[in-house]
Structure 1
Amino acid sequence: MASLEDARRIALALPGATEKVSWGSLHWRVRDKGFAWERPLRKGDLAALGDDAPAGEVLGVRVADLEEKDALIAAEPDVFFTVPHFDGYPAVLVRLDAIDVPELTEVVIDAWLDRAPTKLRETFLRERGSGPA
């Protein structure tokens, strides 16, 4: 089980990551491109989700494209979900109480990799021994 504080720690450990409060919620960015954010559910989200609405903390994360979004939701619907507000947008919502910290780390790093500038991303991957993307 992960928490918003885990997400914050993971995000801010990434090169070039910054934190700001926007619309009353925490957002993490790399070179001013958002990759993860606190996403409390709003009235319309709760209405759309009905009984499936999670009660715990929710994190939004950027994904590479709509295919990746659909794949994550299909593979782990208890962890990943979306709301109509994100229709057509490459992002998923994460139930933090349904994901462990190692998987959350992977998800946040993938979101950062999607938004980071090429040189920063390649340096990060090389230092991890993953090579360039």
Structure 2
Amino acid sequence: MVSLEDVERLVGQLPETEETTQHGRRTWAVAGKGFAWERPFSKADLKRYGDETPPDGPILAIRVEDLAEKEAVLAARAGDGFFTIPHFNGYAAVLVQLDKVPEDVLRDALLDGWLVYAPASVAKAHLDGR
């Protein structure tokens, strides 16, 4: 439903966000910390799927506040293309299959990820201006 260009556009609406590259992948950061990044599957990821078909299309990883938030997001948004893989066990981030996520849902997820690292004054000013 959305593309990486849509991600770029939506992230561009968040103050003090910059695009960087980490591990050869596009990453979007605030206050020097990545909150969203391209996350194609590695060979090891694909091997773990075995006979199952892994999600296709572009995949985005987005930070969440903590592991409890991760579980809540996965429970609430599984039908919108949100999922996880064993490599992300114990890590406060979710994966999003961009071909399945509605733009408004992605916008909210990116905002939540941005809020994890955004300086409090910047976050407050942005939220107050919405």
TM over 0.5: yes
Q: Does the 8 Å CA contact 1:49/1:83 hold for their aligned counterparts?
A: no
Distance 1:93 1:49 in 2: 15
Corresponding residue number in structure 2 for 1:16: 16
Corresponding residue number in structure 2 for 1:5: 5
Cα shift readout 1:84-112 (whole Å, capped 9, x = no counterpart): 22111100000100101111111101111
Identity %: 45
Structure 2 segments unaligned to the other structure (5+ residues) = none
Structure 1 segments unaligned to the other structure (5+ residues) = 129-133
Amino acid at match of 2:109: V
Once the 2 structures are TM-superposed, how far is the Cα of residue 32 of structure 1 from its aligned partner? 0.3
Q: What is the 5 A alignment of 1:1-80?
A: 1-50=1-50, 51-78=52-79, 79-80=81-82
Moved more, 38-47 or 91-100: 38-47
Q: How many residues align?
A: 128
Q: Does the 8 Å CA contact 1:12/1:28 hold for their aligned counterparts?
A: no
TM normalised by structure 2 equals 0.92
Cα shift readout 1:23-53 (whole Å, capped 9, x = no counterpart): 1210000010111001111111112234241
Amino acid at match of 1:38: E
In the TM superposition, structure 1's runs of 4+ consecutive aligned residues that sit over 6 Å from their partners are none
Distance 1:27 1:122 in 2: 23
TM normalised by structure 1 equals 0.90
Once the 2 structures are TM-superposed, how far is the Cα of residue 77 of structure 1 from its aligned partner? 2.3
RMSD: 1.2
Q: Does the 8 Å CA contact 1:63/1:69 hold for their aligned counterparts?
A: yes
